[in-house]
Amino acid sequence: MYCLLKFAPLFLALAVCNGWLFGDFVEKQKELEEIALWPLPQKFQSSAASFKLSHASFQIVHSKQSTAGPSCSLLENAFRRYFEYIFGDMKKQEKSRKKVYDSDLAELQVWITSADPECDGYPSLQTDESYELSVDQPSAVLKAANVWGALRGLETFSQLVYEDDYGVNNINKTDISDFPRFAHRGILLDTSRHFLPLKVILANLEAMAINKFNVFHWHIVDDPSFPYVSRTFPELSQNGAYHPFTHVYTPSDVKMVIEFARMRGIRVIPEFDTPGHTQSWGNGIRDLLTPCYSGSSPSGSFGPVNPILNSSYDFMTQFFKEISTVFPDAYIHLGGDEVDFSCWKSNPDVQKFMAQQGFGTDYSKLESFYIQKLLDIVTSTKKGYMVWQEVFDNGVKLKADTQIHVWKEKQYQDEMAQVTAAGFSALLSSPWYLNRISYGQDWVDIYKADPQNFTGTDAQKKLVIGGEACLWGEYVDATNLTPRLWPRASAVAERLWSDKSVVDVGNAYTRLVQHRCRMVKRGIPAEPLFVGHCRQEYKGL
C-alpha cells in the first residue's frame, strides 16, 4: 500500500487560506476561498460587501467615454468569452430573457482611454498591459489604455466572480490596480519532436490567457520534423514533416494561431533554429546541410547548415523574408544553440574554408561567421531577434536590442549577470524547463525561481525582460501535454506578473488549487496539485 505521509508535503495540503487579502472588511472565509486570483494583482482591495450577478441582466459593455466601441471585434469577442466563463454556456440555458432578474451590479463598463485602442493591432514588447478595475454599485468599471490591458482586466474580473451555495454568482466590492512585473511572459511549445494538432495549440493559448501569459514561443521546427508549410519552399514540409498532409501547419493554420493568440493579447514568436537542429530541413533543401565525412569520403550523414556555401545564405535570405511577413511580431527567435562541430571538422571543404578565413581550428569562429551573416539577413527584414545564450557566449557581434535567452541550468544566475552586464536584454528559462518532471509538488521550486535573483546593478535588473516556461517535446504530444504544462506553468505566470514580494508558498498553494479547478471548469485539463477535488471535475478523458 501507499504511504500518504511519507511523500506528501502536508504543510501545503493543510495550508489555510488566510492573510492574503489585504482588504479592510474581510469576513467570510468561504467567500475568500472562492476569490482565488491568479496571478495575484499588484494592488488589491476588497470588502465583504457582495453583489449578486444575474445572467439575465448583467452585461459587459463599452463605457461611453471609451475610444473602443462595438466595431472593436477583439473586445466584443472577449466580452462574450468572459460572459460565458462567468455564467456558463448561454446556449444551454433558457434563451428567453423576458423574465429579467435584477443584478446588484448592472454591468461592467470597459473604458479604453487611448486615442487608438489597438483593436486591430498586435501586442508587442512595449505594450502597456496595465488596467484598473473598480467593482461597486451601480456599475463595475475596467479602465485601460488599450485593449491589451482590458483583456487582462477582464480575466481578473471573471476570477473575482464566485458562486454562493445557491449557485448564484456574486462579486465583492473591489478595487484593483494592476500591471505586469515583466513585459515578456512566455510559453515555449515544441511542434517538431511531436506534432501538436491545432486544437491543442489553441487550447494552450486559451490557458495562457487565463494565466496572463503574453508570448507564445513557437519552436515550430527542429531535427525530427519540419511541420511548417513554407510558400517559398514547400518541399521543406513536403519532405521534412512526419506526414506532408496530416502533420503540418498550413499558412491558414499559422494565421489561425496568430489571430487566436492576438485576440488574447498573446504575441507569437516563431523559432527557426539554425545552424544546428536542422536535420529535417535537409530533407527538403539540397546542399543546405554540411556533408559529414568518414575519412576521405562522405559518410552519407549531414551536420549543421553548411556555412561555407553562398547558396546557404541565399536560401536563408529568401526563407526569412517569408517568415518576416508571415509572422507579424517584431521579433524572431533564431536559435543558435548546441552546434555540433564534429561534422564541420570532418569535412575537407570546411577545413579549407577555415584556413582561408584564418579561423585556425576554432570552429566557434565559423559558427559566429554563420550567425553574423544570418543576423544581417534577418536585420534586413526589419525584425529584431532573440537567440539562445550560446550566441552571446561565443562572442558574436549582436545588435543592441538583441534578446538573450538563458536556458542552461548550470550557474544561470551568473549568465544572467553577464548578459545584462554586457547591456543586452535577458530572458530566463533555466529553472522553467517544464518537460523535466519529478514525483510530487515540483511547482514549488518553479515558483521560487526569480529572474532578477542575481548579483547586478539596478540597470542590469531592468534589462531582464521576463522569462519563458519551456515544454520540450521529447515526451509530450496531444495525449499528455496540457495536463503536464498546467498548472505547473501557472507558477511561472505568477512569478512573471505579480510583485516580487509575492513569495508565500502556502498562500500560493491555496490559490493555485482553486485556479487549477477554474481551468478545469473552463475545459483545460490542468492536473491536480495534490489530494482533493474540484466542484466540477474534468469531463474529457
- Main-chain phi, psi angles of 131, to 5 degrees: -155, 160
The piece of 287-295, 323-331, 455-463, 473-481 that touches its own copies (CB under 8 A) is 473-481
Q: Is 365 in the site for its own copies (CB under 8 A)?
A: no
Kindly name the residue from 27, 94, 163, 338 that is annotated as catalytic. Answer: 338
8 binds its own copies (CB under 8 A): yes
Q: Are strands 403-406 and 425-428 parallel, antiparallel or unpaired?
A: parallel
Which residues touch 91 (CB under 8 Å, ≥6 apart)? none
CA atoms within 13 A on the CB side of 9: 13
d(CA 199, CA 177): 34
397 binds its own copies (CB under 8 A): no
Contacts (CB under 8 A) with its own copies, residues 298-337: 335, 337
Least separation in angstroms between CB 532 and its own copies: 7
Any bridge partners for residue 110, and if so which?
Answer: 62, 142
Label the pairing between strands 267-271 and 215-219.
parallel
| 385-406 CB burial, b ≥16 within 10 A, e <16 | bbbbbbbbbeebebeeebbbbb
Of the candidate residues 31, 477, 499, 504, the single one contacting its own copies (CB under 8 A): 477
Annotation says 84 is catalytic = no
Q: Is 115 in the site for its own copies (CB under 8 A)?
A: no
Looking at 123, 275, 456, 473, which residue binds its own copies (CB under 8 A)? 473
The number of beta carbons lying within 10 Å of the beta carbon of residue 6 is 6
Q: Out of 407, 412, 432, 454, which residue is the one contacting its own copies (CB under 8 A)? A: 407
Nearer to its own copies, 7 or 101 (CB): 7
Say what angle helices 505-521 and 488-497 make with each other, to 10 degrees. Answer: 120
Least distance from its own copies to the Cβ atom of residue 14, Å: 12
For its own copies (CB under 8 A), the number of binding residues is 67
- Among 4-12, 48-56, 144-152, 361-369, the segment contacting its own copies (CB under 8 A): 4-12
Note whether 281 binds its own copies by CB under 8 A.
no
**Cell 501586442, residue located:** 123
The CB-of-226 to its own copies minimum distance in angstroms stands at 13
Q: How far apart are CA 487 and CA 161, in angstroms?
A: 20
Site for its own copies in 176-215 (CB under 8 A): 190, 193-195, 197, 199-200, 203
User: CA of 184: how far to CAs of 201, 220, 460, in Å?
Assistant: 19, 19, 16
Residue type, 435: N
- Residue ranges in contact with its own copies by CB under 8 A: 1-4, 7-8, 190, 193-195, 197, 199-200, 203, 223-225, 242-243, 246-247, 273, 277, 335, 337-338, 388, 390, 405, 407, 433, 435-440, 470, 472-480, 482-484, 520, 523, 525-533, 535, 537-541
Q: Which residues are catalytic?
A: 338
